[in-house]
Amino acid sequence: MSNIQNVSRRGFLEGVFGAGALVLGARFLPESLTAAETDGAAFHPSAYLGIQPDGTVIIIAHRSEMGTGIRTVLPMTAADELDADWKKVRIEQAIGDPKYGSQNTDGSCSISNFLDPLREAGATARLMLERAAASKWGVPASECRAQFHQVIHSSTGRKLGYGELASLAAQQPVPKKEELRMKTPAEYRYIGKDVPMVDRDDLCTGKGKFGIDAKMPGMVYASIERPPVLGGKLKSFDDAEARKVRGVQQTVVIEHMKPPYGYQALGGVAVIADNTWAASQGRKKLKAEWDLGPNASYESGAYKTLLMETARKPGKVVRTAGDVDAAFAGAAKIHEADYYVPMLAHAPMEPPAAVVEFKDGKVIAYAATQDPQAVQETVAAALGIDKTAVICHVTLLGGGFGRKSKPDYVAEAAILSKKIGKPVKVTWSREEDLKFDYYHSVAAMYMKAAVDEKGKPVAWLQRSVFPSIGAMFADDAVYAAPFEMGMGWVDVPYDIPNLRAENGPAKHHVRIGWLRSVSNIYHAFGVQTFTDELAAAANRDRVEYMLELLGPSRTMNMKEDGPHPVKAGDKVDPYPLDTGRMKRVIEVAAEQSGWAKNKSGKGHGWGIAAHRSFNTYVASVVAVEVGDRGQLRISRVDTAVDAGLTIHPDRVRAQFEGASVFGTSIALMGEITAADGKIVQSNFNNYPVSRMPEAPYVTHVHVIPSTAAPAGVGEPGVPPMAPAICNAVFAATGKRIRELPLKRTKLA
Amino acid sequence: MIQLKVNGSNRRFDGDPEMPLLWYLRDLLELTGTKFGCGAGLCGACTVHLDGSAVRSCQTTMQAAGGKNILTIEGLSASGDHPVQKAWMQANVPQCGYCQSGQIMQAVALLKTKPKPTDHDIDEAMQGNICRCGTYQRIRQAIKTAAGVTA
């Protein structure tokens, strides 16, 4: 990663492996993945893991590194099954290519989807090395054992290194999956151990190369003036002053996009210059006139009113059990509440950045991207070339959070390179990043419950309204996509006989996109705050009340009651919603935080929230202190996690530590608004995110040991944070927070 | 002509004197360890040392850097073995790592003036440096480790 080289796609593999190497194909990918990825066409095996004659094991990291450690963790699992010496392993970042399976590093699924393929790749290579040694020695393969980078003949003690066996092993027939012997957990060398991240030292010395650091010979720098309102078009522009700026070379028009907007370049006028500074100075001198288009009256205050009103009207039923209306009609006691969560921006520390060269009908791109295959498709569509003519190299990402799986910024650089015949670097400013994001949806929710004399719900209605991500791909979509409803809405795990979930319509006026944990953010806020409200009304202990709501431990029938199995083609849901596991994380978070002995009141409060997302069960207990002047401090977070089998304990903890800070930003301060169709916020002064003093002082992560199917860890820590913080604030102050961010409520 | 010293080497610059030091370091000297995060002195990703003090290089013009000694993450140590860097590695601080050059330069400056910082000192010194991944708890730990103070 530290050396960005200019190589072709074919040259990539030749350059990586060289002659005489044992190169393994990625045919190990499960059919359910590959069939979808190759669009029914034949699946072409590709280089995935190889051993060079000098003994170097090369493992391809095909998922993007944005801070989870996946560039280390997945290769680690292959190295484990190979029983390789980690010091002799070199990791190469894959270019975009469907033969690797999905590279869209998104949805917290790298381990759940690729643990088995990577382990099988390692086990396959190990078996081929053993067989190669057996044939060389003329002994049965059963007497040969691969161990820590060499194969040993058990009776004679003869040894051959992996490198020495590489070319012979390459001639072995590739064994069938049934022939493989996978390691038992006791044999793991790396899985379950805190192997240092391969990029760690580079990241502490300034050597890590991000998209913004990429460079190509002859490259020029672009700064782009974009339509200030979604759907706006350029009427005219005057670049006379811009062109006078020292270092500015020329200006170039990028055509406006047409709906559905997808990942297209937004359009506008680019200033091309010798360096980043000159480009940005030139752009400030540009005078552009816009036809603002149909979204020019979008205003967040009026839109909020509209969403809140919509949430009070009957919507589309997405899940129903029992007879909710009858139960409400006969109920003694009804609780109702409205909740609101504003738009949010991703604001990764590295803004969108890419370098692209279009030459001789082909494209070479270096991009901080979560999805290099989407880069191929998007750039190909923008330039009218075949996607196989687009080589996308993936750099390190300075944060992603979902923003960088949408490669509009790479398309911009590609369009400009084609127009001016030079490699072009596009770097977004922070202002552009906040004003032209794919925003996390604003959402309104209405919750209603009828409770019995003990305060337990007998009927439950929940309705959420938000503009859908689906509108990026079908412009007229106003209802939520099924995957959005599957994020903490239809899968609400409570044991309530009469329960209905609904969704109301909302038209989008900005680009909408997924942000770390997506719809779970507002859904968890609504459900978990409402749960706390009901418990408070019944004067019940929150933990006991939550456990009671979850009912007897059971596996929910998600085919009928919730989202369908996670992967198309799965006959059995590999991740059934198990309320017992949900209850367990609540119990562990309570126990570890000292819940039973903590007494809230007088400026001290403890709050809890629990939520399952990306097939991982999470409960967080948050402790807050609220001062006389309303100043809020989060002194401690205890997060209990059941993510099934986990691979790297330290990186799992790191993800949940980080998620507690990300969730704090959402709870306390995150808010994007629009006026006259334009985004109001411009930088970290008016779109604040958590800084050290506002972040939880300490987050203790309690990972429950499990051998269940591995689930996500990157996102699931985020959803419980906002409701847990707000529930803690209620415990401390008696003030109920139904609208985020919390900074809008005076606590003193 | 502006003259300055970067990581011990003498440099000359005859471009726009209003250009921020950040872009001179990144685009002209190719010292890309110093990062762009906001361009407004709000995030700390671009932190370098100017005559030994932590400054935001996005807010420091070339004019202002003239005649000064600039130290970037690349010049902090020859082989990544500055005590603060070692503490960062020991605590496995980085996630995406993008902000960490700035965090480390800020922490080094803090420990120069306050070798045994309290939690309050650390909050005060580090609150200008944003980490969107949320590594603050480990940053605090690493600073304490480098300072030899107990958590």
pLDDT tens digits, residue range B34-64?
999 999 999 999 999 999 999 999 999 999 9
Radius of gyration of chain B (CA): 15
Asked if A230 and A293 count as a contact pair (C-beta separation under 8 A), the reply is yes
Within chain A, how many helices (H) and strands (E) appear?
A: 20, 27
- Cβ B97–A213 below 8 Å, yes or no? no
Distance, in angstroms, between A431 CA and closest chain B CA?
8
Mutate to test the interface with A, among B38, B57, B82, B123 (most CBs of A within 10 A): B38
Question: Looking at the domain assignment, is residue A1 inside a domain?
Answer: no
Inform me whether the C-beta atom of residue B100 falls under 8 Å from chain A C-beta atoms.
yes
- Cβ B23–A658 below 8 Å, yes or no? no
Q: Is A20 left (phi over 0), alpha (psi -120 to 50) or beta?
A: left
Mutate to test the interface with B, among A4, A205, A397 (most CBs of B within 10 A): A205
Give residues with Cβ within 8 angstroms of A704, minimum separation 6.
A584, A585, A588, A640, A641, A642
| Overall number of domains in chain A | 3
Q: How many Cβ atoms sit within 10 Å of the Cβ of residue A744?
A: 12
Domain termination site, one of A164, A189, A205: A205
- Does residue A322 share a domain with residue A365? no
Q: Would you state the structure tokens that stand for residue A271, as one six-digit string? A: 């200033």
- Cβ B88–A695 below 8 Å, yes or no? no
- Does residue A316 share a domain with residue A285? no
- Does residue A166 share a domain with residue A98? yes
Instruction: Write down the pLDDT at residue A332.
Output: 87
In terms of CA atoms, which chain B residue is nearest residue A245?
Answer: B16
Residues 664..703 of A with a Cβ closer than 8 Å to B: which? Answer: 683-685, 689-693, 695-699
> Residue A734 burial by CB count (10 A; 0-12/13-18/19+): exposed, middle or buried?
exposed
| Regions of chain A short of the pLDDT cut 70 | 1-47, 558-572
Residues 112..151 of B with a Cβ closer than 8 Å to A: which? Answer: 122-123, 126-140
- Does residue A58 share a domain with residue A107? yes
Phi, then psi, of A320 in degrees rounded to 5: -150, 140
Count chain A–chain B contacts defined by CB atoms under 8 A.
187
Q: Which residues of A touch B32 (CB under 8 A)?
A: 206, 209-210, 212-213
Q: Which residues of B touch A698 (CB under 8 A)?
A: 137
CATH code for position A86: 3.30.365.10
Instruction: Write down the pLDDT at residue A170.
Output: 84
- Does residue A734 share a domain with residue A704? yes
Q: How far apart are CA A315 and CA A319, in angstroms?
A: 11
Instruction: Write down the pLDDT at residue A15.
Output: 52
- Does residue A539 share a domain with residue A480? yes
Residues 572..591 of A with a Cβ closer than 8 Å to B: which? Answer: none
Peptide bond into A45 cis (omega under 30): no
Q: Could you tell me what percent of chain B has a pLDDT over 70?
A: 99
DSSP state of A227: -
Radius of gyration of chain A (CA): 27
- Cβ A684–B38 below 8 Å, yes or no? yes
Asked if A655 and A517 count as a contact pair (C-beta separation under 8 A), the reply is no
What's the Cα-to-Cα distance from A320 to each of A466, A560, A672, rounded to whole Å?
A: 20, 10, 33
Paired with A353 in beta bridges are A427
Domain termination site, one of A175, A205, A235: A205
In terms of CA atoms, which chain A residue is nearest residue B20?
Answer: A277
**Interface ipTM > 0.95:** yes
In terms of CA atoms, which chain B residue is nearest residue A664?
Answer: B134
Distance, in angstroms, between B20 CA and closest chain A CA?
8
Question: Looking at the domain assignment, is residue A659 inside a domain?
Answer: yes
Q: How far apart are CA A280 and CA A684, in angstroms?
A: 19
- Does residue A527 share a domain with residue A614? yes
May I ask the CATH architecture of the domain B2-76? Roll (3.10)
Among candidate residues A510, A536, A410, A528, the one with its CA nearest the CA of residue A462: A528
Q: Which fold has domain B83-147?
A: DNA polymerase; domain 1 (1.10.150)
Q: How far apart are CA B75 and CA A562, in angstroms?
A: 55
- Does residue A686 share a domain with residue A654? yes
Domain termination site, one of A181, A205, A229: A205
Q: How far apart are CA A132 and CA A172, in angstroms?
A: 7
- Does residue A487 share a domain with residue A363? no
DSSP state of B26: I
Q: How far apart are CA B31 and CA A213, in angstroms?
A: 9
- Cβ A660–B15 below 8 Å, yes or no? no
Distance, in angstroms, between A195 CA and closest chain B CA?
10
Give residues with Cβ within 8 angstroms of A370, minimum separation 6.
A64, A66, A104, A105, A106, A397, A400, A402, A404, A405
The residues spanned by each domain of chain B are: 2-76, 83-147
Distance, in angstroms, between B90 CA and closest chain A CA?
9
Asked if A360 and A439 count as a contact pair (C-beta separation under 8 A), the reply is no
Interval B131-140 mean pLDDT: 98
Q: How many Cβ atoms sit within 10 Å of the Cβ of residue B142?
A: 27
Q: Coil, strand, or helix at residue A78?
A: helix
HSE-CB of A494 using CA atoms within 13 angstroms: 30
Residue with tokens 């530590």: A657
- Does residue A540 share a domain with residue A453? yes
Say what angle helices A520-537 and A542-550 make with each other, to 10 degrees: 110
Residues 515..554 of A with a Cβ closer than 8 Å to B: which? Answer: none
Question: Looking at the domain assignment, is residue A3 inside a domain?
Answer: no
Question: Looking at the domain assignment, is residue A166 inside a domain?
Answer: yes
Q: Would you state the structure tokens that stand for residue A729, as one six-digit string? A: 């604030």
- B94 vs A203, A350, A351: nearest CB: A203
Q: Is A609 left (phi over 0), alpha (psi -120 to 50) or beta?
A: beta
Question: Looking at the domain assignment, is residue A17 inside a domain?
Answer: yes
Q: Which residues of B touch A211 (CB under 8 A)?
A: none
- Does residue A526 share a domain with residue A472? yes
- Cβ B129–A692 below 8 Å, yes or no? yes
Q: Coil, strand, or helix at residue A55?
A: coil
- Does residue A316 share a domain with residue A172? no
Phi, then psi, of A457 in degrees rounded to 5: -65, 135
Question: Looking at the domain assignment, is residue A682 inside a domain?
Answer: yes
Instruction: Write down the pLDDT at residue A5.
Output: 39
Asked if A344 and A519 count as a contact pair (C-beta separation under 8 A), the reply is no
Q: Which residues of B touch A428 (CB under 8 A)?
A: none
Strands A390-394 and A362-367, bridge-based pairing:
parallel
The tens digit of pLDDT for each residue in A468-504 reads 999 999 999 999 999 999 999 999 999 999 999 999 9
Inform me whether the C-beta atom of residue B78 falls under 8 Å from chain A C-beta atoms.
no
Instruction: Write down the pLDDT at residue A417.
Output: 98
Mutate to test the interface with B, among A68, A105, A204 (most CBs of B within 10 A): A204
Alpha-carbon dihedral A546, A550, A553, A554, rounded to 10 degrees: -160
Strands A47-51 and A22-25, bridge-based pairing:
antiparallel
Question: Looking at the domain assignment, is residue A454 inside a domain?
Answer: yes
Instruction: Write down the pLDDT at residue A677.
Output: 98
List the domain range (segments joined by +) for residue A33.
Answer: 9-205
**Angle subtended at Cα A308 by Cα A303 and Cα A309, rounded to the nearest 5 degrees:** 95
Phi, then psi, of A598 in degrees rounded to 5: -80, 125
The tens digit of pLDDT for each residue in B68-112 reads 999 999 999 999 999 999 999 999 999 999 999 999 999 999 999
